[in-house]
Amino acid sequence: MDVGQLRDGLLQLILLIISIGLHEFGHAWMADRRGDPLPRLQGRVTLNPFAHTDPIGTIALPAIMIFLSPGFGLIGWGKPVQISLPDPKTRRMDDICITLAGPAMNLVLCFGFAVIGGLGGFDPETQEVIIRFLAGGILLNAGLVVFNLIPIPPLDGSRLAVRLGLYSEEVFLALARWGFVILLVAVNLPFFREGMHAAIRLLATPWFGLWDLLA
């Protein structure tokens, strides 16, 4: 691995730590707004990405996949935000809002990267690293939105499926037993990866359009 590859790998890992951290912050912030005291009590209502970092899922496993290239698709996760949903009258809507807040934060990051890229006036010849970092941020966060909305536990899409009545709790619990294995296999199936890439490109396109518009 040469210096350029090492630099690109480090940038990708930094982006992942930031993006996963702010994804989890989105869950914690919305839970706090909906009156759930648990995330604040556990110190999760913070923009510090390391408060939301899982040593294995956010750092170790992605680093292995980025730097050693074992042939598996990149997969990672943050430290889950624990919620209590204390109000039974609003529990269903609280859970939906809290669940959607994570992917919504990734969309906010896409917007931020696009605005910085468009207004920054970066020179492609002398500031290529910055441009690649910002473009990578858009693609990574679009990917996190798409990936997290897959309806397989422990991803956000599975909680939405339960709350929207697409899954029963029994089905959710049954899938949860094998969720990680299912995801690890799925992300390495060619047709699944092609579908994911198409969805990510579709979601990322408007943000690159905003970049071009502002530039």
Write out the two tokens for 210. Answer: 């905003």
For residue 181, give the 3-state DSSP assignment: helix
Return d(Cα 148, Cα 105) in angstroms, integer. 12
Check residue 31 and give its pLDDT. 98
Check residue 195 and give its pLDDT. 94
pLDDT digits (tens, 9 = 90+) for 9-52: 899 999 999 999 999 999 999 999 999 999 999 999 999 999 99
Check residue 138 and give its pLDDT. 97
Give the CA radius of gyration of the chain. Answer: 18
Given a cut of 70, is residue 202 above it in pLDDT? yes
Sign of the torsion angle spanned by Cα atoms 70, 74, 78, 82: negative
Given a cut of 80, is residue 72 above it in pLDDT? no
CA atoms within 13 A on the CB side of 94: 18
Which of 24, 125, 128, 169 is an active site residue? 24
Check residue 65 and give its pLDDT. 85
Contact (Cβ atoms closer than 8 angstroms) between residue 200 and residue 139: yes
- In the chain, domain spans: 3-83+91-214
pLDDT digits (tens, 9 = 90+) for 155-175: 999 999 999 999 888 889 889
Its pTM stands at 0.93
Check residue 74 and give its pLDDT. 66
Given a cut of 80, is residue 73 above it in pLDDT? no
Q: Is 169 a catalytic residue?
A: no
Return d(Cα 29, Cα 47) in angstroms, integer. 10
> Phi/psi of residue 122, each to 5°?
-75, 140
Contact (Cβ atoms closer than 8 angstroms) between residue 28 and residue 97: no
